[in-house]
């Protein structure tokens, strides 16, 4: 059996090696390392894929979130509503800009922002809402956008884990994740469903004025070369990363299909086991399974992780400490937030390997290993 990886990027690369090597060699020969033609080609292709007017590439997903907040002219002290159950970058940029993170609880099934809790958290100082499409499942965006309209508060979608996913509204309208709020943000970190071979990110919007501001902020605040209208940053996608993304983007739907097939196999393998709750799939969300995350009910998570490691099965905990309990947010009153669902989930979740290259032997070994542990440790 091929050694199991959480994400097997080498095997994925080998399938597209001739195209990647040729494209990278062309960049090296042309020496157009910054803003080469492949960057614009990728931008246009991703706009078409997502159905948005503007895609603005940048250096990474964290930069994308920061640029979005800067483009909205958020000021120190403004409140930004976001989940605590997320990768730290979502909340980190809020604090970096001296905004106030307002952590709200998540839906216990989807692990994404609970719209009812969002509305309860709104004050006169609320200036943005940042839903996170965690693990590849969509936040329930219809009520989130209704709240956005009701209170005139912009929505920044953190779509770092769910590119290629989509959400269906009650009237049947389907929109790609990241293309629903005023601004969408994503990451092209190598392990993402659409990943490059280094760092990369992008922002999406249908608002022409916002797009112009985002481009300006991402390029040193320039309106024209050497004319700086606002304080900005230096954040761009380099040409070598763009050529990889140009090759991978047409394969994204195929990659997602492969991930969903792995999830189907896991679902079937763990069906009927009381100690396991498999990932929920809302009918209005097309889950793209950036992670396959179990909830354990009464089983010892750390012992399971150790047992799997001994059987050469990697398993990860995303995320063991929620943002509101991190030391970095102590000065922002993090400990004062009462988030029982978040606290419960962070003590129960464990993610199993899922990627585009998994084969039947690997899957069966993982399923058998989890079952073996539970059988040996059942009460």
Per the domain annotation, does 306 fall within a domain?
A: yes
Structural domain for 295, as ranges:
252-378
> 44 in helix, strand or coil?
helix
- What's the CATH number where 318 sits? 3.90.1150.10
Identify whether 192 is a catalytic site residue: yes
d(CA 116, CA 183): 22
Per the domain annotation, does 334 fall within a domain?
A: yes
Among 220, 249, 278, give the residue marking a domain's end.
Answer: 249
Nearby residues of 302 by Cβ (< 8 Å), 6 or more positions away? none
Nearby residues of 191 by Cβ (< 8 Å), 6 or more positions away? 6, 7, 9
Per the domain annotation, does 256 fall within a domain?
A: yes
- What's the CATH number where 134 sits? 3.40.640.10
Per the domain annotation, does 158 fall within a domain?
A: yes
Task: Choose the catalytic residue: 100, 127, 192, 248.
Answer: 192
Among 249, 269, 290, give the residue marking a domain's end.
Answer: 249
Separation in Å, CA 100 to CA 104, 112, 126, 140, 324: 13, 20, 9, 24, 12
Per the domain annotation, does 1 fall within a domain?
A: no
d(CA 266, CA 273): 12
d(CA 5, CA 354): 8
Domain count within the chain: 2
Tell me how far the alpha carbon of residue 261 is from its chain's centroid: 20
**pLDDT 10s digit of each residue in the chain, 379 long?**
899 999 999 999 999 999 999 999 999 999 999 999 999 999 999 999 999 999 999 999 999 999 999 999 999 999 999 999 999 999 999 999 999 999 999 999 999 999 999 999 999 999 999 999 999 999 999 999 999 999 999 999 999 999 999 999 999 999 999 999 999 999 999 999 999 999 999 999 999 999 999 999 999 999 889 999 999 999 999 999 999 999 999 999 999 999 999 999 999 999 999 999 999 999 999 999 999 999 999 999 999 999 999 999 999 999 999 999 999 999 888 889 999 999 999 999 999 999 999 999 999 999 999 999 999 986 5
Same domain, 50 and 135: yes
């Amino acid at each position: 059996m091929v050694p199991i990886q959480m994400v097997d990027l080498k095997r994925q690369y080998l399938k597209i090696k001739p195209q990647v090597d040729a494209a990278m060699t062309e960049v090296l020969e042309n020496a157009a390392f910054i803003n080469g033609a492949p960057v614009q080609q990728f931008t246009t292709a991703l706009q078409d894929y997502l159905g948005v007017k503007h895609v603005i590439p940048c250096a990474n997903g964290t930069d994308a979130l920061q640029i979005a907040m800067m483009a909205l002219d958020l000021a120190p002290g403004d409140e930004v509503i976001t989940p605590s159950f997320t990768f730290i970058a979502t909340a980190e940029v809020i604090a970096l800009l001296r905004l106030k993170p307002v952590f709200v609880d998540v839906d216990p099934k989807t692990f994404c922002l609970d719209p009812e809790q969002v509305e309860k958290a709104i004050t006169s100082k609320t200036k943005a809402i940042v839903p996170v499409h965690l693990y590849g499942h969509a936040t329930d965006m219809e009520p989130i956008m209704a709240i956005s309209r009701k209170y005139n508060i912009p929505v920044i979608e953190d779509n770092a884990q769910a590119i290629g996913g989509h959400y269906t509204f009650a009237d049947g309208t389907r929109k790609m994740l990241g293309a629903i709020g005023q601004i969408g943000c994503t990451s092209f970190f190598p392990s993402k469903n659409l990943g490059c071979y280094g760092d990369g990110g992008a922002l999406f919007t249908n608002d022409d004025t916002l797009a112009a501001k985002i481009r300006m902020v991402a390029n040193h605040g320039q309106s024209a070369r050497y004319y700086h209208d606002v304080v900005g940053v230096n954040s761009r996608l380099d040409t070598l990363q763009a050529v990889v993304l140009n090759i991978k983007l047409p394969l994204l739907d195929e990659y997602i299909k492969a991930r969903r097939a792995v999830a189907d196999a896991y679902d079937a393998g763990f069906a009927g086991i009381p100690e396991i709750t498999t990932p929920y799939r809302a009918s209005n969300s097309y889950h793209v399974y950036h992670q396959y995350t179990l909830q354990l009910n009464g089983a010892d998570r750390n012992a399971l992780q150790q047992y799997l490691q001994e059987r050469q099965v990697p398993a990860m905990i995303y995320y063991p400490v929620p943002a509101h309990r991190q030391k970095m947010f102590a000065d922002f009153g993090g400990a004062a937030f009462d988030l029982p669902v978040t606290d419960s989930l962070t003590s129960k979740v464990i993610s199993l390997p899922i990627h585009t290259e998994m084969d039947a032997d690997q899957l069966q070994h993982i399923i058998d290993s989890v079952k073996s542990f539970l059988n040996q440790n059942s009460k």
